[in-house]
Structure 1
Amino acid sequence: MEPIEVTERVWERLLAVRDGRFCTCCGSWSPGERAALALYGPLARRDLGPMTVAQIGQSLDGRVATVTGDARDISGPDGLAHLHRMRALVDGVVIGVGTALHDTPRLTVRLCPGPSPVRVVIDPRGRLPNDAPLLHCQATRRIVIQGVDLPRPDGVEVVRLAAPDGAFDPAEILAALHALGLQSLLIEGGGTTISHFIEAGCLTRLQVSVAPLLIGGGQLGLTLPHPTEKLSDALRPETRVFSLGSDVVFDCALAPDAQAALDPVHAKPRRVAGS
C-alpha cells in the first residue's frame, strides 16, 4: 500500500496536466508525491480520450449509510479531500436523482484549489424539483438527463433520453455527455447508479474508499443488478491500493485500456494557445 502526499507542487502539476500543459513523468518527487501523481494522474490526463471514473466511500463492512439513512461522515477528512480532488480534475460529476434528493450535494470543489465540475443529474421520471439548490447555482453548467418532458429553470441544460423500464442505458448517457464536450466524468453516486455503470461495462476505473469504521447494518455500497453466482465469474480488476491517511482507496482498472493511463512515459502535453 502506497501512502500519498499531495503537496502544493504536486497539486499544481496535476492541474497543469488537466489543462494539457505538462505530463506526470517529469520532475523529482518524493515517494509520497509520486504515489499521488500515480493515483490522480489518470483522472487529470486528457490525451487518452474519454474516461469515466466512479468513486464510492464506504465503511469496513461495505455500508454507505446507517439503518436510519445517515450517510454523513462515512469518509474521514482525507477521504473527503480525495473526493474534492477528483471533482477538480474531471469535466463533469454525475449523480442519480436519489442521491440528489436525499443528500442534496453541492458537487463543488471546496477542499482543494481547482475548478468545480459540470453538474449532471440522472432523472428518468423527472423527480428532481425545480427548486433544488443543485439547479440554481449558476457558477457552473447544470445538466439534467431525463426521460419526460419537464421544463427546467433557465440555464439548465436538458438531455432527453428514452427510459423504457424507468432507467437509462449508461452507454447512451455517456454518449450524450461526450457530445456536450464532457470527456472526463466522475460517477459520484449513489451506489445503485455506480452499480449500473459497472454492469454495463461503462467505467474506465472504480475507486472504493474505505473508512475504518464498522456500522453493522444499513445500506450496502455496491449491489449489481445481476450479480454473479460463481466466484470464478466475478470481476477481478487490476487494483492498486493507496493510503489517504484517514481512509484507504482501492483504485480498480475496469476497461481494457485503463492501464494505458498509468504509463506516464506516454503522457504527452498537448499544445495550448499561447504556449
Structure 2
Amino acid sequence: MTTDRAPLPTDDGSWASVLSAARDGGRIAPEWQSLFAPIIGAGAGKPFVIGQLGQSLDGRVATSTGQSRYINGPDCLNHLHRLRALVDVVIVGVGTVIADDPRLTVRLVDGPSPVRVVIDPRGRIPRIARMFSDASTDIVVITQDTGPLDLPSFVKVVRLPGDGKGRIDPKAIREVLFGLGYRRMLVEGGPNTVSAFLEADALDRLHLLVAPVIIGAGPAGVSLAPTDALSDARRPVTTSHRLGDEIVFDCDLRRQQAPISPE
C-alpha cells in the first residue's frame, strides 16, 4: 500500500524551515514534514543512508544509447539538491564520475554542500574530473587499489578490501564513513551503486523520482538478484508525493508491508 500526500511545494518559500531544523532542531514547515523529517530526525548513534534514483514510468534511467539528461525535470533536480543539503556526504560510483562528470555540490537551492565520496575500486577516476577543481568541500575516494593514485593532494583516500570482482562491500563503506564522523549519507548514483547498497541492505530509505515519460528500452534503475516468489519481494512502506508533473516515492526500507494474500 502506498500513502498519498499533498503536493510538495515547487518553490523555496518554506525550505528555510527545513535547513533550520537540520541545523538547530527547529520545526519543519508542515508541507515538508513527511518527506524530510525522517532524514533530519534520524538517530545519532548509527548511520542513516538514503538512496535516490530518477527514472521514467517504465523504470529506465537512460535511453539505449545512454542519454540520460534530463529524464527528470527541474523540480526533481531541485529535490536532489535539497537532499544534498541535508546530508553529511554524497556518494557516487566512479562510473557516474566518468560518464557525467558531476560537481556534487548544492547550487539550485540554499544550503551547505556535503562531502563528496567516490567509490573507485580499481583507481579509474580521472584527475581532470570536474569535482577536483572545487576544493570548497572535502573529497573522499574509496578504493581497493593498493598502488598510488594520481589524485590532488587534498583528496582523502580510504582503502578497503574488495570481493575479487572489483566491488567493495557497501556495508563496509557505510561503516568506514560513519567512523570518519559522517552520519547522514546520500547514495546518489549511478543505478548500479544504488542497487548494490539496496541489495546489501545498506539503505534506510530510497527516493524514486518518476517522470511521466516512457522510454521503452535502456538501462533499468533498480537491478537486484532474481526473486523467485512474490512473497519474497521487498515491500517497503511507501509514501508518494507529487512534485510538479512528477512523483517522488519515499520508500521506508526499514518497514515492510505484509505480502498480499490471494483470495
Query: Normalized against structure 2, the TM-score is what?
Result: 0.89
Give me the whole-angstrom Cα distance separating, in 2, the residues matched to 1:11 and 1:231.
39
Give me the whole-angstrom Cα distance separating, in 1, the residues matched to 2:44 and 2:212.
35
Give me the whole-angstrom Cα distance separating, in 1, the residues matched to 2:105 and 2:221.
22
Give me the whole-angstrom Cα distance separating, in 2, the residues matched to 1:9 and 1:71.
30
Backbone CA RMSD of aligned residues: 1.7
Match of 1:118 among 115, 118, 125: 115
Q: Is the 8 A contact 2:18 2:32 kept in 1?
A: no
Query: Does residue 21 of the first structure (1) align with residue 25 of the second (2)?
Result: yes
Match of 1:37 among 33, 36, 56: 33
What is the CA distance between 1:253 and its match in structure 2?
A: 0.7
- For the residue of structure 1 that corresponds to 2:209, the secondary structure is strand
- For the residue of structure 2 that corresponds to 1:242, the secondary structure is strand
Give me the whole-angstrom Cα distance separating, in 2, the residues matched to 1:216 and 1:228.
23
Match of 1:58 among 55, 69, 72: 55
Give me the whole-angstrom Cα distance separating, in 2, the residues matched to 1:73 and 1:12.
27
Match of 2:148 in 1: 150
Q: Is the 8 A contact 2:195 2:223 kept in 1?
A: yes
Q: Is the 8 A contact 2:90 2:186 kept in 1?
A: yes
Match of 2:68 in 1: 71
Match of 1:263 in 2: none
Q: Is the 8 A contact 1:201 1:255 kept in 2?
A: no
Q: Is the 8 A contact 2:237 2:255 kept in 1?
A: no
Q: Is the 8 A contact 1:18 1:46 kept in 2?
A: no
- For the residue of structure 2 that corresponds to 1:255, the secondary structure is strand
Q: Which amino acid aligns with 1:102?
A: A
Query: What is the total number of aligned residue pairs between the two structures?
Result: 248
Matches within 5 A, 1:183-202: 183-202=183-202
Query: Does residue 240 of the first structure (1) align with residue 239 of the second (2)?
Result: yes
Between 44-53 and 204-213, report the one with greater CA deviation.
Answer: 44-53
Residues 211-268 of structure 1, C-alpha deviations (whole Å, 9 max, x = no match): 00111111111111x22111110000000000111210110011259xxxxxxxxxxx
Query: Normalized against structure 1, the TM-score is what?
Result: 0.86
Give me the whole-angstrom Cα distance separating, in 1, the residues matched to 2:214 and 2:44.
39
Query: Does residue 231 of the first structure (1) align with residue 235 of the second (2)?
Result: no
Matches within 5 A, 1:115-264: 115-148=112-145, 149-151=147-149, 152-165=151-164, 166-224=166-224, 226-255=225-254
- For the residue of structure 1 that corresponds to 2:254, the secondary structure is coil
Give me the whole-angstrom Cα distance separating, in 1, the residues matched to 2:94 and 2:10.
32
Q: Is the 8 A contact 1:52 1:202 kept in 2?
A: yes
Residues 134-188 of structure 1, C-alpha deviations (whole Å, 9 max, x = no match): 2231010000001112332111000000113210111100111111111000000
- For the residue of structure 1 that corresponds to 2:187, the secondary structure is strand
Match of 2:102 in 1: 105
Give the direction of change, closer, same or farther, for the CA distance of 1:73–1:177 in structure 2 (3 Å limit). same
- For the residue of structure 1 that corresponds to 2:14, the secondary structure is helix
Give the direction of change, closer, same or farther, for the CA distance of 1:227–1:157 in structure 2 (3 Å limit). same
What is the CA distance between 1:130 and its match in structure 2?
A: 1.7
What is the CA distance between 1:7 and its match in structure 2?
A: 5.7
Structure 1 unaligned blocks of 5 or more = 25-32, 258-275
